[in-house]
């Protein structure tokens, strides 16, 4: 499987989706929380771990 | 697999997150007493250092937090962009953007800060905050934005209003655009913003040959 280049959090349904550097879909992960477009932020480290926060929640 | 889930006190509200070139996770946290930037260990997200951020510009929602390769911070909350040194002290400010553009995102690439307006427009700003250029793209691709090495990655909509991701270079030329696999659209996006180091050798490598017996 290709390396993860970026992650998005999607709307309807709320899912984390990873893509490679050419934009090809890789994997999907269901998450739960009070996410919305204004209170959610995403980041990734050099090892492609995903970090995200929303409201008072913080996850790796 | 979600390895760590830390629900902070309800009196903490996260307003941004990024990973620095030093490998730490940084969060912009709104507390009752004001804002701080917390430097967090990647293993368990525990706080290693707290940097006070004295400002009156931020409210609950912000445009996010970005870092450059020297460890400076960039915080955006419509219409104010702040540059802060690695100790959290304020070094520059710039008023940029229009109303209600705080949701698109912020990133840093090679001497410039980019702010998306959650529509088709974004700003390219010198990272000393001395000048800003507004760019209008052909469609609403800049709903959210991140940086990976020297490229900008957007999530938004194409010309037919279909949900897509796209990669652009820093001159705003499209390199690819692709459909979002699942769901109506992506509303936030994240990546690793710095160039990944490669290992080089300054000496030749000679093969070792073992004789067969």
Q: Residue B97 pLDDT > 60, yes or no?
A: yes
Mean pLDDT confidence for B63-77: 93
The overall average pLDDT reported for chain A is 91
Q: Is residue A1 part of a domain?
A: no
CA-CA-CA-CA dihedral for B23, B38, B107, B6, to nearest 10: 80
The overall average pLDDT reported for chain B is 86
Kindly state the percentage of chain A with pLDDT values over 90. Answer: 67
pLDDT tens across B110-148, in order? 999 999 887 888 899 999 999 999 999 989 999 999 999
Q: How far apart are CA B113 and CA B96, in angstroms?
A: 12
A7 φ/ψ angles, rounded to the nearest 5 degrees: -130, 145
Question: With an 8 Å Cβ cutoff, are A23 and B167 in contact?
Answer: yes
Q: Is A27 on the interface with B (CB under 8 A)?
A: no
Q: How confident is the model at residue B104 (pLDDT cuts 50, 70, 90)?
A: confident
Residues of B in contact with A37 (CB under 8 A): 103, 144, 187-188
Q: How far apart are CA B82 and CA B134, in angstroms?
A: 18
Smallest CA–CA distance, residue B15 to chain A, in Å, is: 7
DSSP state of B105: E
Q: What is the pTM of this model?
A: 0.90
Out of B45, B65, B184, name the one closest to residue A11 (CB): B184
Question: With an 8 Å Cβ cutoff, are A44 and B19 in contact?
Answer: yes
Q: What is the CATH number of domain B13-179?
A: 2.120.10.30
Question: With an 8 Å Cβ cutoff, are A17 and B182 in contact?
Answer: yes
Q: How far apart are CA B164 and CA B12, in angstroms?
A: 33
Residues of B in contact with A11 (CB under 8 A): 183-187
Residues of B in contact with A43 (CB under 8 A): 17-19, 25, 190
Q: Where are the domains of chain B?
A: 13-179
How many domains is chain A built from? Answer: 1
Question: With an 8 Å Cβ cutoff, are B25 and A51 in contact?
Answer: yes
Question: With an 8 Å Cβ cutoff, are A40 and B177 in contact?
Answer: no
- Give me the domain span that covers residue A11: 6-59
Give the number of beta-carbon pairs within 8 Å between A and B: 162
Q: Which long-range contacts (CB under 8 A, 24 or more apart) does B56-62 make?
A: B57/B82, B58/B15, B58/B30, B60/A39, B60/B13, B60/B15, B60/B30, B61/A38, B61/A39, B61/B15, B61/B102, B61/B103, B62/B15, B62/B16, B62/B28, B62/B102
Q: How far apart are CA B22 and CA B195, in angstroms?
A: 12
């Amino acid at each position: 499987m290709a390396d993860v280049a970026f992650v998005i959090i999607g709307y309807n349904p709320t899912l984390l989706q990873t893509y490679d550097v050419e934009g090809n879909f890789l994997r999907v992960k269901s998450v739960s929380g009070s996410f919305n477009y204004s209170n959610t932020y995403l980041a990734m480290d050099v090892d492609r771990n995903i970090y995200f926060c929303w409201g008072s929640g913080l996850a790796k | 697999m979600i390895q760590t889930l830390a629900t902070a006190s309800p009196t903490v509200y996260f307003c941004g997150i990024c990973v620095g070139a030093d490998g730490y996770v940084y969060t912009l946290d709104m507390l009752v007493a004001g804002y701080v930037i917390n430097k967090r260990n990647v293993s368990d997200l525990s706080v290693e250092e707290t940097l006070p951020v004295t400002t009156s510009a931020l409210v609950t929602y912000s445009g996010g937090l970005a870092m450059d390769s020297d460890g400076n911070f960039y915080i955006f909350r419509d219409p104010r962009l702040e540059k802060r040194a690695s100790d959290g002290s304020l070094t520059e400010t710039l008023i940029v953007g229009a109303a209600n553009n705080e949701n698109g995102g912020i990133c840093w690439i090679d001497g410039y800060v980019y702010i998306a307006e959650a529509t088709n427009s974004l700003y390219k700003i010198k990272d000393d905050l001395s000048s800003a250029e507004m760019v209008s793209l052909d469609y609403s691709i800049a709903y959210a934005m991140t940086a990976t090495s020297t490229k900008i990655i957007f999530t938004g909509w194409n010309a037919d209003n279909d949900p897509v991701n796209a990669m652009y270079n820093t001159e705003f030329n499209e390199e690819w655009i692709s459909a979002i696999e699942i769901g109506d659209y992506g509303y936030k996006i994240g990546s690793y913003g710095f160039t990944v180091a490669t290992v080089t050798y300054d000496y030749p490598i000679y093969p070792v040959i073992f004789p067969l017996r």
